[in-house]
Structure 1
Amino acid sequence: MGERTANVQDGHIGETLESLAVTIRGRRTASSEESYTARLLAGKEDSLLKKLAEEASEVIMACKDGDHDHIRYEAADLVYHLLVVLERYGVTVEELAGELDARMK
């Protein structure tokens, strides 16, 4: 587990996800030596998918501990890695939103 983020303020999830997705997309052209995201996008498929599974299990463990701040921290890691997976496979956040919207009808 990484160091917990201090002084977290509420944000706007749509804006945050869109901004993060744009940042991740921009890392496609970054140097793999200098960017963790670029390494995930260009590296071995299994490495990225294992990382996604690891982050999901860390969310589960944080939930089992009942630690609110830890859950938030690990959920952020999971969402970040999920967005990297989506970018790698060409699924946009707009498509994801459309899928979620369709399920609410």
Structure 2
Amino acid sequence: MLLPFAEKAFIDDLKLTGYCLSETHITGKHKARVFKATLGITAADYLILKEAIITAVLLNDAIYSGRNQQGDLYTVDFMMAHKTKRTNVRTAWICLFGESFPRLVSCYVKE
């Protein structure tokens, strides 16, 4: 099963640049370090990661993770390649109640 409304998936650029790929964010810096070490991707390369995620949700199955007070939660895992490197990436999504599109919550290298 694909992510519900995958074709409308929303990825806030700041989620990537200010969190997942930020080397200074209090919790994101750990994700950023691993993205840099495994794929050579930094915040300057966020569009490469964004494109990979957008493509991945259209091609890979989503796993329903449950529900919280805000909406339904999903994960989508995929293999990402950049230059000569490859690794597994996990993306986390929420479909907020009352909305008809998923929002990226987080992404990280899944080892």
TM-score under structure 2 length normalisation: 0.29
Higher strand residue share: 2
Structure number with larger C-alpha Rg: 1
TM-score (norm 1): 0.30
